[in-house]
Amino acid sequence: MRLHEYQAKEIFAEAGIPVPESQLADSVDGVLDAVDEIGYPAAVKAQVHVGGRGKAGGIKIATSREEAREAADSILGMDLKGYTVDRVLVEQGVDFVDEYYVGVTMDRGEGEPVAMVSTKGGVDIEAVAEDDPDAIAQEHIDPAFGLHPYQARKVVYDAGVPAEYARDVSSILSTLYELYEANDASDIEINPVMITSDDDVIAADAVMNIDEDALFRQPDLAEMEEDSYQNDLERKAGEYGFDYVRLSGNTGIIGNGAGLVMATLDLVDYYGGTPANFLDVGGGAKADRIGNALDMVFSDENVDSVVFNIFGGITRGDEVAKGINEALEDFDEIPKPVVVRLAGTNAEEGMEILNTDLVQVEATLEDAVQRAVANAEEVAQ
Protein backbone atom coordinates (compact mmCIF):
# COMPACT_ATOMS: atom_id res chain seq x y z
CA MET A 1 0.00 0.00 0.00
CA ARG A 2 1.44 3.33 -1.06
CA LEU A 3 0.80 6.31 1.15
CA HIS A 4 0.34 9.76 -0.30
CA GLU A 5 2.94 12.38 0.53
CA TYR A 6 0.60 14.15 2.93
CA GLN A 7 -0.13 10.88 4.78
CA ALA A 8 3.56 10.00 5.08
CA LYS A 9 4.40 13.50 6.30
CA GLU A 10 1.81 13.27 9.03
CA ILE A 11 3.50 10.08 10.27
CA PHE A 12 6.97 11.64 9.95
CA ALA A 13 5.91 14.74 11.89
CA GLU A 14 4.40 12.66 14.70
CA ALA A 15 7.73 10.82 14.96
CA GLY A 16 9.64 14.10 15.31
CA ILE A 17 10.99 14.57 11.77
CA PRO A 18 10.75 18.28 10.82
CA VAL A 19 8.38 18.91 7.89
CA PRO A 20 7.10 22.18 6.38
CA GLU A 21 3.74 23.54 7.48
CA SER A 22 1.08 22.29 5.06
CA GLN A 23 -2.62 21.81 4.37
CA LEU A 24 -4.52 19.46 2.06
CA ALA A 25 -6.93 21.04 -0.45
CA ASP A 26 -9.29 19.72 -3.11
CA SER A 27 -10.51 22.99 -4.66
CA VAL A 28 -9.14 26.30 -5.86
CA ASP A 29 -10.78 28.09 -2.94
CA GLY A 30 -9.24 25.54 -0.57
CA VAL A 31 -5.80 26.26 -2.01
CA LEU A 32 -6.29 30.01 -1.63
CA ASP A 33 -7.45 29.63 1.97
CA ALA A 34 -4.40 27.47 2.69
CA VAL A 35 -1.84 29.87 1.21
CA ASP A 36 -3.45 32.80 2.99
CA GLU A 37 -2.79 30.98 6.26
CA ILE A 38 0.60 29.47 5.41
CA GLY A 39 2.03 32.46 3.60
CA TYR A 40 4.24 32.91 0.55
CA PRO A 41 6.11 31.42 -1.12
CA ALA A 42 4.13 28.19 -1.09
CA ALA A 43 4.34 24.95 -3.04
CA VAL A 44 1.21 23.45 -4.58
CA LYS A 45 1.87 19.72 -4.99
CA ALA A 46 -0.28 17.12 -6.74
CA GLN A 47 -1.05 14.12 -4.53
CA VAL A 48 -0.64 11.20 -6.92
CA HIS A 49 1.35 7.99 -6.76
CA VAL A 50 3.89 8.86 -9.46
CA GLY A 51 7.44 10.11 -9.56
CA GLY A 52 8.64 13.14 -11.47
CA ARG A 53 5.65 15.27 -10.49
CA GLY A 54 7.64 18.49 -10.82
CA LYS A 55 8.83 17.81 -14.37
CA ALA A 56 5.29 16.80 -15.36
CA GLY A 57 3.80 20.07 -14.08
CA GLY A 58 2.39 18.61 -10.88
CA ILE A 59 4.32 20.90 -8.52
CA LYS A 60 4.27 24.69 -8.75
CA ILE A 61 5.63 27.46 -6.54
CA ALA A 62 3.33 30.40 -5.83
CA THR A 63 4.66 33.75 -4.63
CA SER A 64 1.32 35.54 -4.75
CA ARG A 65 -2.40 34.85 -4.46
CA GLU A 66 -2.80 35.08 -8.23
CA GLU A 67 0.01 32.56 -8.81
CA ALA A 68 -1.60 30.25 -6.24
CA ARG A 69 -4.90 30.47 -8.13
CA GLU A 70 -3.16 29.72 -11.42
CA ALA A 71 -1.31 26.77 -9.87
CA ALA A 72 -4.52 25.34 -8.43
CA ASP A 73 -6.36 25.78 -11.73
CA SER A 74 -3.51 24.08 -13.57
CA ILE A 75 -2.94 21.13 -11.26
CA LEU A 76 -6.40 20.18 -9.94
CA GLY A 77 -8.09 17.94 -12.48
CA MET A 78 -4.97 17.48 -14.62
CA ASP A 79 -3.99 14.08 -15.97
CA LEU A 80 -0.60 13.26 -14.49
CA LYS A 81 0.88 10.12 -16.04
CA GLY A 82 -2.53 8.46 -16.21
CA TYR A 83 -3.81 9.71 -12.85
CA THR A 84 -6.37 12.47 -12.35
CA VAL A 85 -5.29 14.91 -9.65
CA ASP A 86 -8.14 15.55 -7.20
CA ARG A 87 -6.12 16.77 -4.22
CA VAL A 88 -3.07 18.96 -3.67
CA LEU A 89 -0.80 19.57 -0.72
CA VAL A 90 -0.26 23.28 -0.12
CA GLU A 91 3.07 23.60 1.65
CA GLN A 92 5.21 26.35 3.06
CA GLY A 93 8.07 27.18 0.71
CA VAL A 94 11.60 26.29 1.84
CA ASP A 95 14.57 28.56 1.20
CA PHE A 96 17.20 25.84 0.80
CA VAL A 97 20.91 25.74 0.09
CA ASP A 98 21.40 21.99 -0.34
CA GLU A 99 19.46 18.75 -0.87
CA TYR A 100 20.16 15.20 0.32
CA TYR A 101 18.54 11.80 -0.08
CA VAL A 102 17.80 9.56 2.93
CA GLY A 103 15.96 6.26 2.79
CA VAL A 104 15.55 2.68 3.96
CA THR A 105 14.47 -0.23 1.79
CA MET A 106 14.85 -4.01 1.61
CA ASP A 107 17.91 -5.38 -0.15
CA ARG A 108 16.43 -8.68 -1.31
CA GLY A 109 19.80 -9.90 -2.53
CA GLU A 110 21.28 -9.60 0.96
CA GLY A 111 18.04 -10.44 2.77
CA GLU A 112 18.39 -7.37 5.01
CA PRO A 113 17.14 -3.79 5.13
CA VAL A 114 19.61 -1.23 3.85
CA ALA A 115 19.96 2.41 4.86
CA MET A 116 20.95 4.79 2.07
CA VAL A 117 22.18 8.38 2.11
CA SER A 118 23.33 10.62 -0.73
CA THR A 119 24.26 14.27 -1.10
CA LYS A 120 22.67 14.11 -4.57
CA GLY A 121 19.11 14.68 -3.40
CA GLY A 122 16.21 16.31 -5.16
CA VAL A 123 16.71 14.23 -8.31
CA ASP A 124 15.70 10.75 -9.46
CA ILE A 125 17.67 8.52 -7.08
CA GLU A 126 17.35 5.56 -9.47
CA ALA A 127 19.18 7.62 -12.10
CA VAL A 128 21.88 8.47 -9.56
CA ALA A 129 22.24 4.77 -8.70
CA GLU A 130 22.72 3.95 -12.38
CA ASP A 131 24.97 6.85 -13.40
CA ASP A 132 27.00 7.35 -10.21
CA PRO A 133 26.44 4.45 -7.77
CA ASP A 134 29.31 5.60 -5.53
CA ALA A 135 27.28 8.73 -4.75
CA ILE A 136 24.93 6.63 -2.60
CA ALA A 137 26.34 5.38 0.69
CA GLN A 138 24.77 2.20 2.05
CA GLU A 139 24.69 0.40 5.38
CA HIS A 140 22.98 -2.96 5.82
CA ILE A 141 20.95 -3.51 8.96
CA ASP A 142 20.55 -6.70 10.94
CA PRO A 143 16.80 -6.70 11.71
CA ALA A 144 17.46 -8.61 14.94
CA PHE A 145 19.32 -5.60 16.36
CA GLY A 146 18.05 -2.66 14.29
CA LEU A 147 20.01 0.34 13.09
CA HIS A 148 22.75 1.10 15.60
CA PRO A 149 23.56 4.79 16.16
CA TYR A 150 27.12 4.24 14.96
CA GLN A 151 25.75 2.80 11.68
CA ALA A 152 23.60 5.86 11.12
CA ARG A 153 26.59 8.13 11.74
CA LYS A 154 28.81 6.00 9.50
CA VAL A 155 26.54 5.99 6.45
CA VAL A 156 25.99 9.76 6.78
CA TYR A 157 29.77 10.26 7.00
CA ASP A 158 30.39 7.93 4.03
CA ALA A 159 27.90 9.94 1.96
CA GLY A 160 29.93 13.11 2.55
CA VAL A 161 27.32 15.06 4.51
CA PRO A 162 29.04 18.10 6.08
CA ALA A 163 29.78 17.77 9.78
CA GLU A 164 27.47 20.61 10.80
CA TYR A 165 24.45 18.72 9.41
CA ALA A 166 25.55 15.14 10.11
CA ARG A 167 23.90 14.84 13.54
CA ASP A 168 20.48 15.99 12.25
CA VAL A 169 20.64 13.83 9.11
CA SER A 170 21.67 10.72 11.08
CA SER A 171 18.83 11.42 13.55
CA ILE A 172 16.35 11.55 10.66
CA LEU A 173 17.75 8.29 9.27
CA SER A 174 17.41 6.57 12.65
CA THR A 175 13.81 7.74 12.94
CA LEU A 176 13.06 6.53 9.42
CA TYR A 177 14.29 3.06 10.30
CA GLU A 178 12.18 3.03 13.45
CA LEU A 179 9.14 3.92 11.34
CA TYR A 180 10.12 1.35 8.70
CA GLU A 181 10.26 -1.43 11.28
CA ALA A 182 7.27 -0.39 13.41
CA ASN A 183 4.92 0.09 10.46
CA ASP A 184 5.89 -2.95 8.34
CA ALA A 185 7.09 -0.66 5.57
CA SER A 186 8.55 -2.03 2.36
CA ASP A 187 10.44 1.20 1.74
CA ILE A 188 10.59 4.67 3.24
CA GLU A 189 12.48 7.72 1.99
CA ILE A 190 12.86 11.49 1.97
CA ASN A 191 13.96 13.04 -1.30
CA PRO A 192 14.98 15.68 -0.67
CA VAL A 193 16.05 16.37 2.85
CA MET A 194 16.64 20.11 2.55
CA ILE A 195 19.23 22.24 4.30
CA THR A 196 17.65 25.66 4.75
CA SER A 197 19.35 29.04 4.61
CA ASP A 198 18.99 29.10 8.42
CA ASP A 199 20.89 25.77 8.64
CA ASP A 200 17.79 23.81 9.59
CA VAL A 201 17.29 20.27 8.26
CA ILE A 202 13.78 19.54 6.98
CA ALA A 203 11.94 16.78 5.10
CA ALA A 204 10.62 18.40 1.92
CA ASP A 205 9.13 15.18 0.53
CA ALA A 206 7.99 11.86 1.95
CA VAL A 207 7.56 8.35 0.57
CA MET A 208 6.26 5.46 2.66
CA ASN A 209 5.02 2.17 1.25
CA ILE A 210 3.49 -0.51 3.46
CA ASP A 211 3.50 -4.29 3.10
CA GLU A 212 -0.17 -4.99 2.41
CA ASP A 213 0.11 -8.46 3.91
CA ALA A 214 0.90 -6.83 7.26
CA LEU A 215 -2.07 -4.47 7.37
CA PHE A 216 -3.93 -6.83 9.71
CA ARG A 217 -1.53 -5.73 12.45
CA GLN A 218 -1.46 -2.07 11.41
CA PRO A 219 -5.05 -0.93 12.04
CA ASP A 220 -4.22 2.79 11.91
CA LEU A 221 -2.55 2.39 8.53
CA ALA A 222 -5.35 0.15 7.28
CA GLU A 223 -7.75 3.04 7.87
CA MET A 224 -5.67 5.08 5.42
CA GLU A 225 -6.02 2.46 2.69
CA GLU A 226 -9.16 3.94 1.14
CA ASP A 227 -7.56 7.39 0.92
CA SER A 228 -4.40 5.87 -0.54
CA TYR A 229 -6.25 4.72 -3.65
CA GLN A 230 -5.56 7.12 -6.48
CA ASN A 231 -8.45 6.23 -8.77
CA ASP A 232 -11.43 3.93 -9.24
CA LEU A 233 -9.28 1.20 -10.78
CA GLU A 234 -7.00 1.00 -7.75
CA ARG A 235 -10.04 1.03 -5.47
CA LYS A 236 -11.61 -1.77 -7.48
CA ALA A 237 -8.36 -3.76 -7.33
CA GLY A 238 -8.38 -3.40 -3.56
CA GLU A 239 -11.95 -4.66 -3.38
CA TYR A 240 -11.12 -7.65 -5.58
CA GLY A 241 -7.88 -8.40 -3.72
CA PHE A 242 -5.66 -8.06 -6.80
CA ASP A 243 -2.06 -6.93 -7.00
CA TYR A 244 -2.51 -4.14 -9.53
CA VAL A 245 -0.46 -1.26 -10.90
CA ARG A 246 -1.76 0.99 -13.63
CA LEU A 247 0.79 1.91 -16.30
CA SER A 248 0.69 4.29 -19.23
CA GLY A 249 0.40 1.90 -22.19
CA ASN A 250 -2.49 0.34 -24.09
CA THR A 251 -1.91 -3.43 -23.86
CA GLY A 252 -3.73 -4.86 -20.83
CA ILE A 253 -2.03 -7.77 -19.06
CA ILE A 254 -3.58 -10.40 -16.80
CA GLY A 255 -1.57 -13.27 -15.33
CA ASN A 256 -1.19 -15.48 -12.28
CA GLY A 257 2.01 -14.91 -10.34
CA ALA A 258 4.10 -11.75 -10.19
CA GLY A 259 7.01 -13.27 -12.11
CA LEU A 260 4.75 -14.43 -14.93
CA VAL A 261 3.10 -11.02 -15.19
CA MET A 262 6.49 -9.27 -15.19
CA ALA A 263 7.72 -11.57 -17.96
CA THR A 264 4.63 -10.69 -19.97
CA LEU A 265 5.25 -6.96 -19.43
CA ASP A 266 8.81 -7.39 -20.66
CA LEU A 267 7.66 -9.25 -23.78
CA VAL A 268 5.04 -6.61 -24.57
CA ASP A 269 7.81 -4.02 -24.46
CA TYR A 270 10.17 -6.30 -26.45
CA TYR A 271 7.66 -6.68 -29.27
CA GLY A 272 7.08 -2.94 -29.55
CA GLY A 273 4.00 -2.54 -27.36
CA THR A 274 3.38 -0.58 -24.17
CA PRO A 275 1.94 -2.30 -21.07
CA ALA A 276 -1.22 -0.74 -19.64
CA ASN A 277 -1.07 -2.46 -16.27
CA PHE A 278 0.33 -5.10 -13.96
CA LEU A 279 -2.50 -7.38 -12.79
CA ASP A 280 -1.78 -10.57 -10.85
CA VAL A 281 -4.90 -12.65 -10.12
CA GLY A 282 -2.92 -14.92 -7.79
CA GLY A 283 -3.06 -18.66 -7.36
CA GLY A 284 -6.22 -20.73 -7.28
CA ALA A 285 -8.21 -18.17 -9.26
CA LYS A 286 -11.77 -19.34 -9.93
CA ALA A 287 -14.16 -18.27 -12.65
CA ASP A 288 -15.55 -15.28 -10.74
CA ARG A 289 -12.05 -13.97 -10.00
CA ILE A 290 -11.08 -14.16 -13.65
CA GLY A 291 -14.27 -12.33 -14.52
CA ASN A 292 -13.36 -9.61 -12.04
CA ALA A 293 -9.93 -9.26 -13.63
CA LEU A 294 -11.48 -8.76 -17.05
CA ASP A 295 -13.91 -6.25 -15.61
CA MET A 296 -10.97 -4.27 -14.23
CA VAL A 297 -8.95 -4.20 -17.42
CA PHE A 298 -11.99 -3.42 -19.57
CA SER A 299 -12.72 -0.49 -17.26
CA ASP A 300 -9.39 1.15 -18.16
CA GLU A 301 -10.06 3.50 -21.05
CA ASN A 302 -6.37 3.37 -22.05
CA VAL A 303 -6.52 -0.36 -22.82
CA ASP A 304 -6.91 -1.29 -26.49
CA SER A 305 -6.25 -5.02 -26.21
CA VAL A 306 -5.82 -7.67 -23.52
CA VAL A 307 -3.48 -10.63 -23.16
CA PHE A 308 -4.10 -13.45 -20.66
CA ASN A 309 -1.03 -15.41 -19.59
CA ILE A 310 -1.98 -18.25 -17.23
CA PHE A 311 0.27 -21.09 -16.14
CA GLY A 312 -1.73 -23.76 -14.41
CA GLY A 313 -0.62 -25.05 -11.06
CA ILE A 314 -3.05 -24.26 -8.31
CA THR A 315 -4.91 -22.27 -10.95
CA ARG A 316 -6.48 -24.81 -13.33
CA GLY A 317 -6.72 -24.00 -17.01
CA ASP A 318 -10.31 -25.17 -17.30
CA GLU A 319 -11.42 -22.89 -14.43
CA VAL A 320 -9.71 -19.95 -16.11
CA ALA A 321 -11.36 -20.75 -19.42
CA LYS A 322 -14.79 -20.91 -17.76
CA GLY A 323 -14.17 -17.54 -16.13
CA ILE A 324 -13.17 -15.95 -19.42
CA ASN A 325 -16.19 -17.37 -21.23
CA GLU A 326 -18.63 -16.34 -18.49
CA ALA A 327 -17.24 -12.84 -18.28
CA LEU A 328 -17.25 -12.24 -22.01
CA GLU A 329 -20.69 -13.75 -22.57
CA ASP A 330 -22.14 -10.97 -20.41
CA PHE A 331 -21.17 -8.42 -23.06
CA ASP A 332 -23.34 -7.69 -26.08
CA GLU A 333 -20.10 -6.69 -27.79
CA ILE A 334 -16.58 -7.49 -26.59
CA PRO A 335 -15.09 -4.09 -25.70
CA LYS A 336 -11.44 -5.05 -26.34
CA PRO A 337 -9.87 -7.93 -28.29
CA VAL A 338 -8.66 -10.65 -25.91
CA VAL A 339 -5.78 -13.06 -26.55
CA VAL A 340 -5.36 -16.10 -24.28
CA ARG A 341 -2.39 -18.35 -23.62
CA LEU A 342 -2.87 -21.28 -21.25
CA ALA A 343 -0.22 -23.73 -20.05
CA GLY A 344 0.20 -26.20 -17.21
CA THR A 345 -2.58 -27.92 -15.25
CA ASN A 346 -5.64 -28.70 -17.40
CA ALA A 347 -4.42 -26.33 -20.12
CA GLU A 348 -5.62 -28.58 -22.94
CA GLU A 349 -9.07 -28.86 -21.37
CA GLY A 350 -9.13 -25.10 -20.99
CA MET A 351 -8.22 -24.54 -24.62
CA GLU A 352 -11.10 -26.75 -25.67
CA ILE A 353 -13.52 -24.88 -23.39
CA LEU A 354 -12.56 -21.40 -24.63
CA ASN A 355 -15.12 -19.80 -26.92
CA THR A 356 -13.03 -18.83 -29.93
CA ASP A 357 -15.83 -16.57 -31.13
CA LEU A 358 -15.00 -14.36 -28.14
CA VAL A 359 -11.23 -14.76 -27.75
CA GLN A 360 -8.13 -15.40 -29.81
CA VAL A 361 -6.07 -18.37 -28.63
CA GLU A 362 -2.31 -18.80 -29.00
CA ALA A 363 -0.19 -21.79 -27.99
CA THR A 364 2.92 -19.86 -26.89
CA LEU A 365 3.45 -16.75 -24.82
CA GLU A 366 5.49 -15.10 -27.55
CA ASP A 367 2.71 -15.57 -30.11
CA ALA A 368 0.07 -14.36 -27.67
CA VAL A 369 1.97 -11.18 -26.83
CA GLN A 370 2.75 -10.39 -30.47
CA ARG A 371 -0.90 -10.80 -31.37
CA ALA A 372 -2.05 -8.61 -28.46
CA VAL A 373 0.43 -5.89 -29.41
CA ALA A 374 -0.77 -6.04 -33.03
CA ASN A 375 -4.39 -5.81 -31.86
CA ALA A 376 -3.57 -2.73 -29.76
CA GLU A 377 -1.81 -1.07 -32.69
CA GLU A 378 -4.78 -1.77 -34.96
CA VAL A 379 -7.32 -0.40 -32.48
CA ALA A 380 -5.21 2.71 -31.85
CA GLN A 381 -4.99 3.60 -35.54
Active site amino acids: 101, 189
94 closest CA partner among 207, 16, 202: 202
User: CA 176: distance to chain centroid?
Assistant: 19
Task: Please provide the DSSP assignment of 232-261 as one string.
Answer: HHHHHHHHHT-EEEE-SSSEEEEESSHHHH
Cα 43 to Cα 38: distance, rounded to the nearest angstrom:
10
93 in a known ligand binding site: no
**315: annotated binding-site residue?**
yes
**Residue 2 marked in a binding site:** no
302 is in an annotated binding site: no
Q: Has 314 been labeled as part of a binding site?
A: yes
d(CA 336, CA 303): 8
How remote is the C-alpha of 280 from its chain's centroid?
Answer: 15
Tell whether residue 256 is among the known ligand binding residues. Answer: yes
Q: Is 58 annotated as a binding residue?
A: no
Contacts of 266 (CB under 8 A, 6+ apart): none
Of 253, 283, 248, 281, nearest to 267 by C-alpha is 253
Provide DSSP, 105-148. Answer: EEETTTTEEEEEEES--SS-HHHHHHH-GGGEEEEE--TTT---
Q: Residues 6 or more apart from 220 whose CB is under 8 A from it?
A: none
54 is in an annotated binding site: yes
d(C-alpha 371, C-alpha 362), whole Å = 8
91 is in an annotated binding site: yes
Residue 205 is assigned to a ligand binding site: yes
Q: Within 13 Å and on the Cβ side, how many CA atoms surround 35?
A: 27
H or E segment and range at residue 370:
helix 365-380
Binding-site residues for substrate sit at 256, 313-315
Binding-site residues sit at 45, 52-54, 91, 94, 99, 191, 205, 256, 313-315
Binding-site residues for Mg(2+) sit at 191, 205
Binding-site residues for ATP sit at 45, 52-54, 91, 94, 99
